[in-house]
Structure 1
């Protein structure tokens, strides 16, 4: 190990090169802070390499395949499409590799010192880095940001084996489409992979312990998504509990309780998508005052932990575990370190997106949450079958829902399901950030013909003024 007196010194050392960590490092470099970033595997983190980005590449393939299959309705006659699964997966990896190189270039251009290896807090403002050859180096860090992300939560009875029992990594690197696939968990990850593999011909069963799929979503959105995906041939079992599992050479036998009934589900492969747990091991936290609760680091305003000079952002700091939330927190944390922010950290509106077919997206409170808080609300809902663009592109299934405070006109929440929902939600996120009321949203002119007009109509509908329904 290098002598502490000659250890390189940094204003900020970031541990973890995912969308929280590398963005924090880039912002720190912009602010002329001497910055080091330590990453043990791949720059870009899980999101870029094994999560958000490669799954969207796969889902784009699924969407294209779906359009080809329905092309005759548009007057285009084509033969049955053939899928080269190896090439599908290969392209997904190529997309990730291209973006990985992009992140590497950005960090180099910004002057960030990148160290590949594992980092551990070593006390007194020091971070110890061990590279892949076992060589140790000590860094002096005035401030340390922990951005180590999260990993898939395993089930004790179904540990990942890389063959029959998958996490998201195995689902992204499969060699062939399984004939049957069971998905445990109907959150965003489970629903996206269910959608992808079903589109490629797998017989998919989704098992969810909660009363509905996408349990964090608005109830009407959840019901619509389940109904639409069931029409695609996906079987759903809600309020279902996995009680036993037997992994064999040819597949997995699952025993599932649903009410008073017990079912056996036989599947060639099982994808376990029951949430994430923070990567807090091996960081030397036990030598500090940093507190860990249920697998996540406890962090307050600006990512501050109980250990002075140590911060935590992104997934490792708890829900919502979303890449864009991590990036946002990383920037705010660094700006606080640089003295550009002070006081209480403002609460940011964080949109959530699910890229299955149909897409869904939301921001703010659901109708049920607003009512449970005792708020008198106005709710607007506009079906896409009333939207000219949606009809023209033959994707008129879905709706947009808005929730307003009846007294103040504040936009409390917005919930979208249907084509390009994930691209449209930012409009409501921006409106909420600007503290727009129904008055400003009603006066906003939306271009025609676009799907976004339905956003306007959903606002108008909350006040009995919708034009096209």
Structure 2
């Protein structure tokens, strides 16, 4: 059977590409080896946010319940219901995606896809070839898999990745998390909130290594206060098992000395790598570099008719990036005049408590790029809405170019900051300066006032600071 477009993978890149292709009148097929929605829906973005919401709700009652007139004695956690709630949400959204496939007339093919020459794919089920399809355009959107330390076996029993971390039948008493990017931070907060003793091991000198230094410092202070132990500038020398106590013993090297830690579980949260190992790239000659598929600005590979989007290419490994690349890829195929993605204006979010949201350059990056900068900050503790919500942790930090007033970056940590960052993304897209932004009116009381106040602070005009 021949299609105009065949998409490999049904994550936020793949399913969006298939829908947009169908909307533009292209006969479209999508190949998925597991469940519709890919890792993001089934084992990533969606279920983790459900778990985190349960954790935030629990912590809010424990911390502030009595302040709001809610008695909080004898609180118990029914962990099975916490898990089942997250899986029910996943199932609900999966049904929605399947409905969209039917609505748009997209042919769904179940199995592993392997690329063939002359714009063909082979579909494999249970290690047997079951069908071959051809397509005028073939889009690789197979996503990513967890990055693990190859020195230590990941058995998904005692040494696990995020997928297993979402499906424990009971809570571990002690957990070691390796890595403090967004995955590590979110799981650290969740399991700590549920009552697990959590320790983070990070090879870099700060938590959240890719974040602005002020954000990382505040996060560390926040985690220290609630009892999440952090070993920075540290790595693992050796892992052994104590079968008698059913625990893992970890020998780590810190900047000062070697330390022995014990835990029930080790969770690798070291990020992800492209899921491209078994899809036949070498067979047809598609070029890769440093583990990523090489594409041009229109997501075309070096082989005509083959494209790649999302986590398989060297752009930010984020669901919203993959979806936007999917639309651009399809619209370029149809020769539509779509806007190129500004990868320096992509919002990055972490959904722990406090939440983290950022866009653009960090302070360090701004200086490294030669900018003379103005910096403004505003703490949520000085904001009426945050005070009334009993959630005053965190701040907003803005960075402007001193010469042209270009908004170089914004970094937030606090309650609901992931909902505030789009304002900054739009303002930067429209090249707004401090003059335009300070001339806008923000509602009072609201958390968004922290943005306008931080900009005013950068220019010596702060009223409430």
Query: Is 1:223 aligned to residue 223 of structure 2?
Result: no
Task: Tell me which residue corresponds to 2:310.
Answer: 314
SS in 1 for 2:420: helix
SS in 1 for 2:399: strand
* Whole-angstrom CA distance in 1 between matches of 2:128 and 2:95: 25
The structure 2 residue matched to 1:55, chosen from 44, 48, 65, is 48
Task: Tell me which residue corresponds to 2:430.
Answer: 434
* CA displacement, residues 399-426 of structure 1 (integer Å, 9 cap, x when unaligned): 0011111111111110000000111111
User: Quick check: 1:157–1:245 contact (8 Å CA) kept in 2?
Assistant: no
Task: Tell me which residue corresponds to 1:25.
Answer: 18
SS in 2 for 1:305: coil
* CA displacement, residues 39-80 of structure 1 (integer Å, 9 cap, x when unaligned): 111110000000010000000000000011121123322322
Task: Tell me which residue corresponds to 2:342.
Answer: 347
Question: Which ranges of structure 1 fall in alignment gaps of 5 or more residues?
Answer: 1-7
* Whole-angstrom CA distance in 2 between matches of 1:89 and 1:248: 29
The structure 1 residue matched to 2:151, chosen from 148, 153, 157, is 157
* Whole-angstrom CA distance in 2 between matches of 1:345 and 1:358: 32
Query: Is 1:192 aligned to residue 183 of structure 2?
Result: no
User: Quick check: 2:30–2:107 contact (8 Å CA) kept in 1?
Assistant: yes
Task: Tell me which residue corresponds to 2:419.
Answer: 423
Give me the CA root mean square deviation: 1.3
* Whole-angstrom CA distance in 1 between matches of 2:115 and 2:35: 20
The structure 1 residue matched to 2:128, chosen from 119, 130, 134, is 134
* Whole-angstrom CA distance in 2 between matches of 1:214 and 1:170: 22
Query: Is 1:393 aligned to residue 389 of structure 2?
Result: yes
Query: Is 1:379 aligned to residue 372 of structure 2?
Result: no
Shift of 1:322: 0.6
* Whole-angstrom CA distance in 1 between matches of 2:52 and 2:111: 32
Shift of 1:287: 2.0
Shift of 1:162: 2.2
Task: Tell me which residue corresponds to 2:236.
Answer: 242
Q: Equivalent residues in 2 for 1:171-182 (5 A)?
A: 171-182=165-176
Instruction: After superposing the two structures, state which structure 1 stretch, 23-32 or 316-325, moved more.
Output: 316-325
Query: Is 1:35 aligned to residue 28 of structure 2?
Result: yes
* Whole-angstrom CA distance in 1 between matches of 2:413 and 2:315: 23
User: Quick check: 1:278–1:318 contact (8 Å CA) kept in 2?
Assistant: no
Q: Equivalent residues in 2 for 1:245-324 (5 A)?
A: 245-249=239-243, 250-324=246-320
* Whole-angstrom CA distance in 2 between matches of 1:114 and 1:424: 37
Task: Tell me which residue corresponds to 1:208.
Answer: 202
The structure 2 residue matched to 1:360, chosen from 341, 356, 379, is 356
Alpha-carbon distance change, 182 to 346 in structure 1, aligned in 2, over 3 angstroms: closer
* Whole-angstrom CA distance in 2 between matches of 1:340 and 1:62: 44
User: Quick check: 1:14–1:37 contact (8 Å CA) kept in 2?
Assistant: yes
Shift of 1:277: 1.1
Shift of 1:316: 1.0
Query: Is 1:337 aligned to residue 333 of structure 2?
Result: yes
* Whole-angstrom CA distance in 2 between matches of 1:77 and 1:21: 47
User: Quick check: 2:122–2:129 contact (8 Å CA) kept in 1?
Assistant: no
Shift of 1:31: 0.8
User: Quick check: 1:229–1:358 contact (8 Å CA) kept in 2?
Assistant: no
* CA displacement, residues 262-306 of structure 1 (integer Å, 9 cap, x when unaligned): 000111111011111111122111122311223221222121111
User: Quick check: 1:251–1:268 contact (8 Å CA) kept in 2?
Assistant: yes
Task: Tell me which residue corresponds to 1:3.
Answer: none
* CA displacement, residues 370-396 of structure 1 (integer Å, 9 cap, x when unaligned): 011110111111111111000000001
User: Quick check: 1:378–1:404 contact (8 Å CA) kept in 2?
Assistant: yes
* Whole-angstrom CA distance in 1 between matches of 2:208 and 2:393: 18
* Whole-angstrom CA distance in 2 between matches of 1:109 and 1:163: 40
Alpha-carbon distance change, 44 to 346 in structure 1, aligned in 2, over 3 angstroms: closer
* Whole-angstrom CA distance in 2 between matches of 1:328 and 1:230: 37
Shift of 1:119: 1.0
Question: Which ranges of structure 2 fall in alignment gaps of 5 or more residues?
Answer: none
* CA displacement, residues 175-223 of structure 1 (integer Å, 9 cap, x when unaligned): 1111110000011001100100001111110000000000101000011
